[in-house]
Amino acid sequence: MSIVVVGSVALDSVKTPFGEVQEVLGGSATYFSVSASFFTDVKLVAVVGEDFPETHIKLLESRSIDLSGLQKRPGKTFRWKGKYGYDLNEAITLDTKLNVFENFTPVIPDSYRNAEYVFLANIDPDLQSKVLKSVEKPKLIALDTMNFWIEGKPNELKKAMANIDILIINDGETREFAKEPNIVRAAQKILKYGPKMIIVKRGEYGAMMFSDNSVFATPAYPLHTINDPTGAGDTFAGGFMGYIASIDRFDEPAIRQGIIFGSVMASFAVEDFSLNRLMRLEKDEIRKRFKEFKKLSHFDDFHETFGI
């Protein structure tokens, strides 16, 4: 099954304690698409400026990503500049130049309209709602957002959220959106806004899933080398949705497996800057790390003889 993703394609300049890159390929839709492309067909909706390098187009095409929905507009491509300290969980934004992204109006090509899976990456919640009107009955819709919209357009966000299946959101944003410090209570509160399920991304601490009748929690894959956490959340979403769409199932076991694949893909992405690690990733490495994930997090039932 194919996935439509709507989000940003950007040129990122990033500095971490382990290196620095200038104007490299980035953006939520980019990370999502490349990650999901290891699992299924991806149809991208985004905008770039006239300065967007042809090599980046070729890179996306090399992953068989459908670019019919990638608009090229007069002006410059969206640029983001940020840095990380040793606490790699939090990015510090140094500069944001929206450029052509400022007036982005997603246009869904006719060939995308019957896609079964839709991912609304972090954009204006009004645009997220608009996109949902342009697609015909997808089986599953997931949405990501950020503190900027939680603070600036909370009502529009709640409106968008009433029409989706899965909210994918990070730890701090979950607490902020619900105005509730306890993550379990925060998730339960947000579930009342409409989504059937919430997946909470916790960076190096893993991920959690909450629905009305179940909870799932996983640690992150313990990494010896993390060079750049940029795009980890969208790469996670790409692995998650990619797997779900590829097997066309979203029952509880499939959701859990999807969360592990999301974690696996994110763990690869952060090993290098930009899309570098994902672009040299082999399918067998993905399968292998999933199995390692199971090995490092599973445990046997207790010995019945224990003294309680």
Stretch that binds a copy of itself, among 37-45, 58-66, 108-116, 119-127 (CB under 8 A): 37-45
- Minimum distance, C-beta of residue 15 to a copy of itself, in the bound complex (Å): 16
Tokens encoding 81: 């500049």
Q: Which residues have a Cβ under 8 Å from the Cβ of 21 and sit 6 or more positions away?
A: 12, 13, 14, 228, 273, 274
Stretch that binds a copy of itself, among 91-99, 147-155, 269-277, 282-290 (CB under 8 A): 282-290
Evaluate whether 136 touches 128 at the Cβ level (below 8 Å): no
Residue 112, SS3 per DSSP: helix
The footprint of a copy of itself on residues 47-106 (CB under 8 A) is: 86-88
- Minimum distance, C-beta of residue 42 to a copy of itself, in the bound complex (Å): 11
Return the residue of 114, 215, 280, 288 that touches a copy of itself, per CB under 8 A. 215
- Minimum distance, C-beta of residue 103 to a copy of itself, in the bound complex (Å): 36
Stretch that binds a copy of itself, among 53-61, 101-109, 142-150, 281-289 (CB under 8 A): 281-289
- Minimum distance, C-beta of residue 211 to a copy of itself, in the bound complex (Å): 12
212-250: b (≥16 Cβ within 10 Å) or e? eeeebebebbeeeebbbbbbbbbbbbbbbbbbbbbeeeb
Q: Which is nearer to a copy of itself, 92 or 223 (CB)?
A: 223
Partners of 167 in the β-ladder: 143, 198
Is 232 a residue that touches a copy of itself (CB under 8 A)?
no
From the CB of residue 39, how many other CB atoms can be counted at a distance below 10 Å?
23
- Minimum distance, C-beta of residue 247 to a copy of itself, in the bound complex (Å): 5
Q: What are the phi and psi torsion angles at 300 (to 5°)?
A: -85, 165
Q: Which is nearer to a copy of itself, 122 or 246 (CB)?
A: 246
Return the residue of 82, 206, 271, 276 that touches a copy of itself, per CB under 8 A. 206
Element (H, E) at 3: strand 3-6
Is 290 a residue that touches a copy of itself (CB under 8 A)?
yes
Is 159 a residue that touches a copy of itself (CB under 8 A)?
no
Q: For a copy of itself, how many residues bind (rule: CB under 8 A)?
A: 58
Return the residue of 15, 139, 249, 276 that touches a copy of itself, per CB under 8 A. 249
Is 217 a residue that touches a copy of itself (CB under 8 A)?
yes
Evaluate whether 101 touches 8 at the Cβ level (below 8 Å): yes
Tokens encoding 160: 């968008």
**How far, CA to CA in Å, does 198 sit from each of 62, 235, 251, 268?**
32, 17, 14, 23
In the chain the first and final C-alpha atoms are separated, in Å, by: 50
Q: Considering only the C-alpha atoms of the chain, give the largest distance between any 2 of them, rounded to a whole number of Å.
A: 73
Strands of the sheet with 10-16, listed across from one edge: 19-26, 10-16, 79-83, 92-97
Stretch that binds a copy of itself, among 90-98, 115-123, 143-151, 202-210 (CB under 8 A): 202-210
Tokens encoding 102: 């400022």
The 177-196 contact track toward a copy of itself, x by CB under 8 A, reads ----xxxxx-----------
Element (H, E) at 16: strand 10-16
Is 257 a residue that touches a copy of itself (CB under 8 A)?
yes
Is 117 a residue that touches a copy of itself (CB under 8 A)?
no
The binding site for a copy of itself (CB under 8 A) comprises 17, 38-40, 86-88, 181-185, 202, 204-206, 208, 215-220, 222-226, 242-243, 246-247, 249, 253-254, 256-257, 259-261, 283, 286-287, 290-291, 294, 296-303, 305-308
